[in-house]
Amino acid sequence: QTLRQIAEFSPKSQLHCGEIIDAPAFKFRGYMDDIGRNFRTIDQLKKVIDLMSRYKLNVFHAHLTDYPAWRLESKAYPKLTAPETRYPTRLPKRGYTQAEMRELVVYAAARHVEIIPEMDMPGHSTYFKRATGVDMQTEKGVEILKTQIAEWAKIFPSQYFHIGSDEVRIRMKSFIPSMVAAVRSHGKTVVQWYK
């Protein structure tokens, strides 16, 4: 990519002998897209990943759940991705199958881009309550989330798993520790928003 960038700005794309010394200043060079809120097609996401790779960004933070929708197919709880539970103004019929997301993960990896998923909890979860009939901060809600974490852990090979946990009052004292333990049980490192 460095060579390509140099060539673009060289007269007539001619390159002379030289030495390229190039190393990233930061381990993670990322981009976040709130596709739970604003849906993008897989083709659109592939274009984003192509651009990221071009400019040496290596982490795509896929924010897959938000107030309007839970965008990734759930085999265990199909109602989570049912169009009737989504906001009618935010492309309610659009979501991703697990197969589509696996395809995107492979596509990104081939371009040296890691996809880190975010399952926002317990905030930004209006869709969750509408779809399941329970709040995330209940025993049943925790059970459903643990099942979803297990499903997602099989789709995303990333070491990291984002659980959100911002912009909401945590009422259930065991909620965050339970979710952290669930993520770690799949060999993942927990990431969450600070404040």
Residues assigned a catalytic role: 66, 124, 167
Separation CA 35–CA 176 (nearest Å) = 23
Q: Which amino acid does the sequence have at 128?
A: F
Q: In what order do the strands lie in the sheet with 59-63?
A: 30-33, 59-63, 114-121, 160-164, 189-191
Per-residue CA distances from 46 to 2, 63, 160 (Å): 21, 16, 21
Q: 137: which 2 tokens?
A: 């901060």
b/e code 148-186 from CB counts within 10 Å (16+ = b): bbebbbebbebebbbbbbeeeeeebeebbebbbebbeee
